[in-house]
Amino acid sequence: MVRVMLALSSFALLLAQEPGEEKIPKENPYKSESDLARGKRLFLGHCAPCHGPSGDGGRGANLARPKLLRASDDAALFQVIKEGVPNTEMPGAFEMIDREIWQVAGYVRTLGRTAAENVPGDRVRGEQLFRNKGNCVRCHSVNGQGGRMGPELTEIGARRSAKYLRETLLAPETNVPEGFLMVRLKTKDGKEVSGVRLNEDTYSLQLRDLSDQPRSFWKQELAELHHDKGKSPMPSYRSVFSEAELADVVAYLVSLRGSL
pLDDT digits (tens, 9 = 90+) for 153-186: 998 888 788 998 999 999 999 888 777 889 999 9
Q: Is residue 39 predicted with pLDDT exceeding 60? A: yes
What average pLDDT does the segment 238-245 reach?
A: 96
The pLDDT value recorded for residue 17 is 42
On average, the pLDDT of the chain sits at 86
Confidence at 258, pLDDT banded by 50, 70, 90? confident
* Residue 6 within any structural domain of the chain: no
pLDDT of residue 202: 93
Q: Tell me which of 94-103, 108-117, 185-194, 246-255 is least confident.
A: 108-117
State whether 37 and 140 are in the same domain.
no
Q: 140 falls in which pLDDT band (50, 70, 90)? A: very high
Q: Are 90 and 46 in contact (CB under 8 A)?
A: no
**Is residue 212 domain-shared with residue 98, that is, in the same domain?**
no
Q: Give residue 111's pLDDT band: very low, low, confident or very high (50, 70, 90).
A: confident
Q: How many CB atoms lie within 10 A of CB 19?
A: 4
Residue 5 has pLDDT above 80, yes or no: no
Q: What is the pLDDT of residue 260?
A: 55
Give the separation between CA 1 and CA 104, rounded to whole angstroms.
Answer: 51
**pLDDT tens across 119-128, in order?**
999 999 999 9
Same domain for 94 and 36: yes
The average pLDDT across 56-62 equals: 74
Shared domain check, 244 and 187? no
Please say if the pLDDT value at position 21 is more than 60.
no
Q: What is the pLDDT of residue 6?
A: 42
pLDDT at res. 15: 44
DSSP 125-180: HHHHHHHTTS-GGGT-EETTEE-SSS---TTHHHHS-HHHHHHHHH-GGGGPPTT-
Residue 67 vs residue 22, higher pLDDT: 67
Q: Which residues pair with 146 in a beta bridge?
A: 141
Residue burial 95-109, b: 16+ Cβ < 10 Å; e: rest: ebeeebbbbbbbbbb
Q: Is 256 exposed, middle or buried (0-12, 13-18, 19+ CB in 10 A)?
A: buried
pLDDT digits (tens, 9 = 90+) for 210-231: 888 999 999 999 999 999 988 8
Characterize the bridge pairing of strands 192-200 and 145-146. Answer: unpaired
Domain that holds residue 136: 123-172+234-254
Closest CA to 193 of 225, 228, 151: 225
Higher pLDDT, 240 or 116: 240
Long-range contacts at 160-167 (CB < 8 A, ≥ 24 apart): 160/114, 160/253, 161/114, 161/117, 162/117, 162/119, 162/250, 162/251, 162/254, 165/250, 165/253, 165/254, 166/246, 166/250
pLDDT higher than threshold 60 for residue 60: yes
Residue 9 domain-assigned? no
Please tell me the total count of domains within the chain.
Answer: 3
Q: What average pLDDT does range 116-143 have in this prediction?
A: 93
Q: Is 255 within 8 Å of 157 (Cβ atoms)?
A: yes
Q: Is residue 3 part of a domain?
A: no
Asked if residue 140 and residue 46 are part of one domain, the reply reads no
CATH number at residue 150: 1.10.760.10
pLDDT at 54 over 70: yes
> Does residue 147 lie in a domain region?
yes
Confidence of residue 237 (pLDDT cuts 50, 70, 90): very high
Question: Is 35 inside a domain boundary?
Answer: yes
Instruction: Give the residue with greater pLDDT, 100 vs 23.
Output: 100
Q: What span, in angstroms and rounded, lies between the C-alpha atoms of 199 and 59?
A: 10
The verdict on residue 259 lying in a domain is no
- pLDDT of 7 above 90: no
Same domain, 247 and 134: yes
Same domain as 82, residue 43: yes
CB 151 within 8 A of CB 243: no
